[in-house]
Amino acid sequence: MAEVGVLLVILVGMFAVTIHSGWNNNPRTGWNGFWHIVGLLSFYSSLRCLLTSDIVRSMLAVILFAGSVALAIESAFQLLVEFPEQRRQYASDPQRMLKEVGISAAEGSAQRMRFEARLYSPEPLATYALTNSLAVQLSGALVAGISLLYASLPIVGRTQHSRDRKVNAPSLGPELKSGEVGSEAVTRKGGLSRFGLQVCQWVLIGQIAILISIWFATRSRAAFLAVGATVVIGLIGRLVGGLQTGESVGLLRLFKRSGPLLFCVAIGCLATIGILWIAFPDWLSAAGRSAAFRRDYWAASWHMLADHGWFGVGLGNFQSYYPRYMLPTASETIADPHNWVLDLAVTCSVPLALVMIGGLLRLLTIGPLPCPGHDHSDGKTAEPDKGNACWLAVGAVLGAVAVLAGVGILERPVGSLVFAVFLACLLAAWTWPLARHQASEVWWWHKLAAIAMVFCLLVRGSWQAPGLVVGLLCYLVSGAGWQSETAGGIAQQSMRSKRSVALLVTVGYTLLLIGFIWQSWNPVLRSSAEVHGVFSNPASQREAARRAAQIDPWEAVWNRYQIELSVQAAVVASNAADFERWQEQINQSIQRWTERESVSFLTWQRAGEHYLELAAKANDWGLAVQPLLHSAGKCYENATYAYPTSVQLRIQLAYCLLRLGDLKAARHQLGIAEQLDQGTSHQDRKIGSQLIWMPEPPIGWSAATNREQYWRPAEPAVAWIRSQL
């Protein structure tokens, strides 16, 4: 019941955080994060009920490992086929590819520089948005695979030594009691020959080689350090555990046993670093610069935590708040602080973060309970829970089919991913015998895999990525080593208590599922279908956007979409009276929108762009432009408050102030922009890579023929502003 109470505290706390964050942000973003947490809590409860025996954990180990192998195979296809083809297409027709991905930026702009940097990056992505996330995923799988290989070595290589050893342990089977600890006892029980196990080992080695090759291709320094530290922890834990035989163990003997092996590991690590230094000198020398980036991220996150520690900013809203605290030397805006502890504290509040971190540490520190169904009073052992293992395998297959179908629905290439999943499933058939024979060791492999992922997430990746957090939860729960209760006496009372808790959890999550369908699933699907099904005239599109906003009142995107459609209608108005009517309507809509979504600088920037576009059209009609320019200036002023280190917004504000005749304020903002330009070493944050929104160009400049040409290079714009001052 205590565990259920903790889950309820997290659930109620996240509900309060979501309500609080929705006052000044897009409410739908916070609610998406809330339901994300609800799904993870449901997943955790299901795992607790399912992973109660070694055979189920063995099946989970095979599934997790096969999934990571599939990602590695997909990454190899990207590196060898997909990425070179994309670069060739971009070199032959850059504008076509930019249009396909929705980018309309001039050559040399910051947005285009980031796109080209990603395009020519040699690092794989698989199905993730960032290479760092793939590195974290592969790190956990690599540790689990190496642990499985290490645990399986005695099966083949220490047979003769094991035959001569008598084991005095009541929980072991009759073969092991008789002294047959080697491969013959195990293979006779599993139906595999010694040669068959050797083949399985070599197949496992091949899969580990695939993982290592892609893992190195991610070039994640944090992942390398995390896996190295985890391997050392695992070796020490294995050595210490191997000495727990009932005899006294001194530090000297422990050093004699572990010292040579740790020395070899240290030599291997140094040799690996040397090879990497020779092969990738620039990559390793950039470690200091990468550490400086993390320092900037964490410093800004710490300042954000000081302002929002008690209630948090809500899941998904970090990127809206971060520019307010971003240091001038930072490289770019980020969606998370690259540290899972800070991420939890900033987004979910400090109190909830302490509860979650405490639960995670508990899962990492508790050890396994007795073998499943074992009754110490009579020495009987219950049959493993094969039913749950079969259901787990069926669920994994159905999940893979659902993922592939989802990728196909999104109209993305799915052929290589289907091949990767199919090949990984075939290889999993060879991994299963090893995992099944070493079932009692699975909890230890998964605990090490969880440690590796937790280490990585301290500086890389985001725990909010579903592909990461689901795998991490699997490793954590499996590594805790929970087992089924035994029959008789107090155990029956415990089982009745567990059934009561399971019933309570089932009813609770059923109600939450109904709430999810009512609050999120139904309105999101209906509103999206309402808008995406309309491709006729602009009036129909505006009406569809209005209905979508009514269907999903928690989604601020539809308000923004209505404003954009209204601005387009105002620009093509046939007379001044219609334009003024549209102008009044747009002004009211922008005020409602900015009051609802006031934190993000993008809200104010887009509102300022709309006002400048309306001012240019008002000037064509001979109407007053000062009120529109004043509104644009206020919007850009709020934008610079939300993102004070943005060179682009400072120049944009200076342009508006110049149009309003406030030369002193314009000179001040231009001076700040030039100081920021001189204070950063990042090319994408300098004046030369910025674009300025100027629907009404200065005298002597070429007129724009479409809205995309309203964006002007910042350097000539700054020179013109300076000439007017």
| Overall average pLDDT of the 57-69 stretch | 92
Contact 619, 639 (CB under 8 A): no
Q: Judge contact between 74 and 418, C-beta under 8 A.
A: no
Average pLDDT, the chain: 81
Q: For strand 711-713 and strand 691-693, is the pairing parallel, antiparallel, or unpaired?
A: antiparallel
Lowest mean pLDDT among 233-237, 470-474, 491-495: 491-495
The pTM score is 0.83
Q: Is 711 helix (H, G, I), strand (E, B) or coil?
A: strand
Alpha helices, DSSP H only, in 597-646? 601-621, 626-642
Q: How far is CA 637 from CA 456, 651, 667, in A?
A: 39, 11, 14
Alpha carbon distances (Å) from 186 to 373, 397, 676: 21, 28, 68
pLDDT tens-digit series, residues 263-317:
665 666 666 666 666 666 666 667 777 888 888 899 999 999 999 999 999 998 9
Q: Would you give the distance in Å from CA 631 to the centre of its chain?
A: 38
Kindly report, residue by residue over 460-469, the tens digit of the pLDDT: 777 887 778 8
C-alpha gyration radius of the chain: 30
Looking at domain 556-724, which CATH architecture does it have?
A: Alpha Horseshoe (1.25)
HSE at residue 152, side-chain half, CA atoms within 13 A, is 27
Query: Within 13 Å and on the Cβ side, how many CA atoms surround 36?
Result: 19
Give the pLDDT confidence of 491-538 residue by residue, as tens digits.
444 444 556 656 666 777 788 889 899 999 999 999 988 887 666 677
The tokens of 225 are what? Answer: 């350090």
DSSP character at residue 483: -
Rounded to whole angstroms, the Cα distance separating 86 from 67 reads 26
For 615-653, the pLDDT digits (tens) are: 999 998 999 999 999 999 999 999 999 999 999 999 999
**Do the Cβ atoms of 21 and 312 come closer than 8 Å?**
yes
- Are 399 and 196 in contact, with CB atoms under 8 Å apart? no
* Amino acid identity, position 106: A
Q: Which residue has tokens 């909010």?
A: 464
Please list the residues that pair with 439 across neighbouring strands: none
Beta strands in 291-338 (DSSP E): none
Q: What is 32-71 written as a DSSP string? A: HHHHHHHHHHHHHHHHHHH--SHHHHHHHHHHHHHHHHHH
* Structure tokens that stand for 384 in this block: 């493993």
Domain boundaries, the chain: 51-243+251-281+289-311+336-375+399-481, 556-724
Token pair recorded at residue 454: 């937790």
Distance, CA of 543 to CA of 533 (rounded, Å): 12
Q: Is 722 exposed, middle or buried (0-12, 13-18, 19+ CB in 10 A)?
A: middle
pLDDT band at 373 (very low <50, low <70, confident <90, very high): very low
